[in-house]
Structure 1
Amino acid sequence: MQLLRLLVALAVVLFSVVVIAAEDYYKVLGLAKSASEKDIKRAYRTLSKKYHPDKNPGDDTAREKFVEIADAYDVLSTSTLRKIYDQYGHDGVEQHRKGQAAGGSHDPFDLFSRFFGGGGHSGHAPGHRRGPDMEVRASLPLRDFYTGREINFLVEKQQICDSCEGTGSKDRHVETCDRCAGRGVVLQKHMLAPGMFQQVQMQCDRCHGQGKKIKNPCPVCAGSRVVKNQVETSAVIEPGMGKGTRLVFENEADESPDWIAGDLIVILDEKEAELGRSAEERTDGTFFRRKGKDLFWKETLSLREAWMGDWTRNLTHLDGHVVHLGRRRGEVVQPLAVETVSGEGMPHYSEGHLHDHHEDDGSAGNLYIEYTVVLPDQMESGMEKDFHALWEKWRKKIGVDLAKDSGRPVAPPPAEGKDEL
């Protein structure tokens, strides 16, 4: 009897350890139970990258955390599983998963790949038809590509009618078509010639190929089972992303009871530069030009600055920090000279997954300053005489004959005493 009590106590202790080990999914993602679907996605996006094994090589704790985060997201991002978890906890989720016929795949790396648009396994049963993908474009100023931000926009797409739950019926009662017996197709005979017939399979005209009939159409979708809605969608623009970047949201395209939703693909565009209205938007960086991960800027100098030096410029970057330019006295800047400011281009961003290998060294781009020198349109007579005398003195001492040094042929002087005509 005492041995039996000891075994029961041991079992209770082990069960308690298992329950304690299974940490609350909301705590794993750092969320409250009232968290929205958007909050859950944002938390998974941030934490899965932070604890991905490729970012933490050899760290078993990070790997375990990564798996834990994936499991939490898998449950909380699925409305059915989330309801079960909220009501019955971990045990309810496990019982539900065991009861599924296909078993399903809960590979955390596959989930990560699919979430970030890696074309991972769809996770759907074979034979299910997949709907078309949707593409939308989002235009952003260069500043947003530099600093990164979360954008919200509306996408008009087809959704399964909530009122009838995709049945098309007001009372959600659907009958099997008595003409095609639920197959959606019927066989018809066509006479080719006297005594010769051809049997053709055609779509059932009574149920329009659905194999089902509805007596009381849904007043919301008029029996079509789907409705058009403006759906608010959010996307995270990471620093360094570029024009043409494709953000893939799996299974968020048009919905239908007849297919598995395709992917929603957001293609990023760059807006034309325009000076903003607010003080934060009125930065020099508004008119940067971008090529790859490098930025380009044209700076204008006066003749005195280019020739004599002794000048400074404070260039306000896209995020508001200041880049200092300048020359000491006596430092000459040639027209169209290009100065490289290392590390002041676009932040580093890898378009591949964290476990992919790229030739990119992972560093930020450069800022290239091209100098344009503005000459005065005219000079006062006294200034012109002084400059001319100074130039003549300098030219005779160390001047260079550009026509001679260029290597171009020099025309001989005209013969004396001869007229052109």
Structure 2
Amino acid sequence: MAHRRTKLLFVVCALCYVLSAIAGKSYYDILQVQKGASDDQIKRAYRKLALKYHPDKNQGNEEANKRFAEISNAYEVLSDGEKRNIYDRYGEEGLKQHAASGGRGGGMNIQDIFSQFFGGGGGMEEEEKIPKGDDVIVELDASLEDLYMGGSLRVWREKNILKPAPGKRRCNCRNEVYHKQIGPGMFQQMTEQVCEQCPNVKFEREGYFVTVDIEKGMQDGQEVTFYEDGEPMIDGEAGDLRFRIHTAPHDVFRRDGNDLHATITITLVQALVGFEKSLKHLDEHLVEIGTKGITKPKEVRKFKGEGMPLHFSTKKGDLYVTYEVLFPTSLTEDQKASIQKILG
């Protein structure tokens, strides 16, 4: 009995964790599809994301496991017509009330969803080969503040959209094999292309805003992918839209991997007798960088844990401050005598 209670408590805690983890994003955002996405688009988005974040491919990566749970939970709702309708009208609270009133809301085991979708055993299967349009890669500069705290960027996107057009076209073409008689008892194998007649289509250019989420600690070159938002392909699926993240220059800090570097100028007097000084960080907390001792020109001091957050981690890099000493451009004879008397 105690074992059953423990197991039930674990399931409840896991479900609460998943629901709280995705509270900040809609299920559509999690699957990276538009709200009006078709069932096929939702299935393809789930396939790609589930394969990417599956625990078998990301062993030891807690963040990937969380993502897999989010993706599976979102797919369970959006792939069910009744649940999706309730979610669209009333949100997560509506789903909870629906489940409490006896509706189908108990949910499925995450691995069961994956196994049903990809086949028994939950193994990693190769995706079926479908003709695909070109991927679009956009180089995107993210501010150091967004990379430190997390944020989002709205980017204007223009692309070709398939629209209906007058007439018919050849589609779903395939090669069929048949045998042609070329003499008594002699046949030759022939191949013929057979096509169907489909409604005609044309490309039209349309524009819209895309919201790109910048995660804390993302490194230069990492990508945020919007599946099937690249170049479209007739009788196939669109390519992907990939935003490649780069760190934008900053007025105070310079990023080097997970570390930050800053250069601070102090006076000669401050270098000799010490000083009190604080540096405003990217989230506006203050880092005390002063000292009571002597500071040499070009001296570098390390402030542990004040660098960039590591992606998918609670750890942080370090901050390195280089001190530039501002020397006077000239001295009077009395000043020279005083300094010589003190330091001589």
Pairwise TM-score range, normalised by the shorter structure: 0.5 to 0.7
Structure 1 residue identity aligned to 2:235: D
Equivalent residues in 2 for 1:169-248, closer than 5 Å = 169=166, 174=168, 212=197, 223-224=201-202, 226-248=203-225
**Match for residue 375 of structure 1?**
327
**Match for residue 74 of structure 1?**
75
Kindly tell me: are residues 388 and 339 of structure 1, through their superposed partners in 2, closer, same or farther at Cα, counting changes over 3 Å?
Answer: same
Deviations 1:302-350 (A, max 9, x none): 11111122x111100001100011122xx21111111000000101115
One of 132, 137, 146 as aligned partner of 1:130: 132
Structure 1 residue identity aligned to 2:297: P
State the SS of the aligned residue for 1:327.
coil
Kindly tell me: are residues 375 and 339 of structure 1, through their superposed partners in 2, closer, same or farther at Cα, counting changes over 3 Å?
Answer: same
Structure 2 residue identity aligned to 1:243: D
State the SS of the aligned residue for 1:312.
coil
Kindly tell me: are residues 255 and 335 of structure 1, through their superposed partners in 2, closer, same or farther at Cα, counting changes over 3 Å?
Answer: same
**Match for residue 144 of structure 1?**
146
Q: Does 1:384 align with 2:336?
A: yes
- How far the C-alpha of 1:265 sits from its partner, in A, is 1.2
Equivalent residues in 2 for 1:295-310, closer than 5 Å = 295-309=260-274
**Match for residue 241 of structure 2?**
264
Structure 1 residue identity aligned to 2:197: K
Structure 1 residue identity aligned to 2:131: R
- How far the C-alpha of 1:142 sits from its partner, in A, is 1.3
- Greater C-alpha Rg: 1
Give, in whole Å, the separation in 1 of the partners of 2:69 and 2:147.
31
- How far the C-alpha of 1:149 sits from its partner, in A, is 0.9
Deviations 1:101-138 (A, max 9, x none): xx74179988xxxxxxxxx8664x44x22222111122
8 Å contact kept, 2:30–2:74: no
**Match for residue 105 of structure 1?**
118
Kindly tell me: are residues 337 and 107 of structure 1, through their superposed partners in 2, closer, same or farther at Cα, counting changes over 3 Å?
Answer: farther
Q: Does 1:37 align with 2:37?
A: no
State the SS of the aligned residue for 2:269.
helix
Aligned length: 268
With the length of structure 2 as denominator, give the TM-score of the two structures. 0.62
State the SS of the aligned residue for 2:242.
strand
**Match for residue 288 of structure 2?**
324
Q: Does 1:159 align with 2:172?
A: no
Give, in whole Å, the separation in 2 of the partners of 1:213 and 1:324.
70
Kindly tell me: are residues 70 and 247 of structure 1, through their superposed partners in 2, closer, same or farther at Cα, counting changes over 3 Å?
Answer: closer
Deviations 1:366-391 (A, max 9, x none): 10011111111112332222223334
8 Å contact kept, 1:293–1:365: yes
Kindly tell me: are residues 228 and 84 of structure 1, through their superposed partners in 2, closer, same or farther at Cα, counting changes over 3 Å?
Answer: farther
One of 261, 273, 290 as aligned partner of 2:255: 290
State the SS of the aligned residue for 2:212.
strand
Give, in whole Å, the separation in 2 of the partners of 1:302 and 1:108.
69
Kindly tell me: are residues 256 and 169 of structure 1, through their superposed partners in 2, closer, same or farther at Cα, counting changes over 3 Å?
Answer: farther
Give, in whole Å, the separation in 2 of the partners of 1:333 and 1:248.
47
Q: Name stretches of at least 5 consecutive residues in structure 2 with no aligned partner.
A: 1-10, 34-45, 87-102, 109-115, 176-190
**Match for residue 340 of structure 1?**
302
Kindly tell me: are residues 269 and 306 of structure 1, through their superposed partners in 2, closer, same or farther at Cα, counting changes over 3 Å?
Answer: same
Kindly tell me: are residues 154 and 109 of structure 1, through their superposed partners in 2, closer, same or farther at Cα, counting changes over 3 Å?
Answer: farther
Deviations 1:25-50 (A, max 9, x none): 9x975789xx67236659x99xx99x
Structure 1 residue identity aligned to 2:204: V
Give, in whole Å, the separation in 2 of the partners of 1:267 and 1:183.
37
Kindly tell me: are residues 75 and 152 of structure 1, through their superposed partners in 2, closer, same or farther at Cα, counting changes over 3 Å?
Answer: farther
Alpha-carbon RMSD across the aligned residues, in angstroms, is: 4.6
8 Å contact kept, 2:260–2:320: yes
8 Å contact kept, 1:150–1:234: yes
Q: Name stretches of at least 5 consecutive residues in structure 1 with no aligned partner.
A: 1-20, 57-62, 95-102, 111-119, 185-200, 204-208, 218-222, 274-285, 355-361, 395-421
Kindly tell me: are residues 160 and 324 of structure 1, through their superposed partners in 2, closer, same or farther at Cα, counting changes over 3 Å?
Answer: same
**Match for residue 116 of structure 1?**
none
Kindly tell me: are residues 137 and 366 of structure 1, through their superposed partners in 2, closer, same or farther at Cα, counting changes over 3 Å?
Answer: same
Deviations 1:339-363 (A, max 9, x none): 000000101115xxx9xxxxxxx73
Richer in strand (by share): 2
Give, in whole Å, the separation in 2 of the partners of 1:84 and 1:254.
32
8 Å contact kept, 1:71–1:106: no
Give, in whole Å, the separation in 2 of the partners of 1:297 and 1:108.
52
Give, in whole Å, the separation in 2 of the partners of 1:380 and 1:107.
88
With the length of structure 1 as denominator, give the TM-score of the two structures. 0.52
Equivalent residues in 2 for 1:271-282, closer than 5 Å = 271-273=248-250
State the SS of the aligned residue for 2:210.
strand
**Match for residue 187 of structure 1?**
none
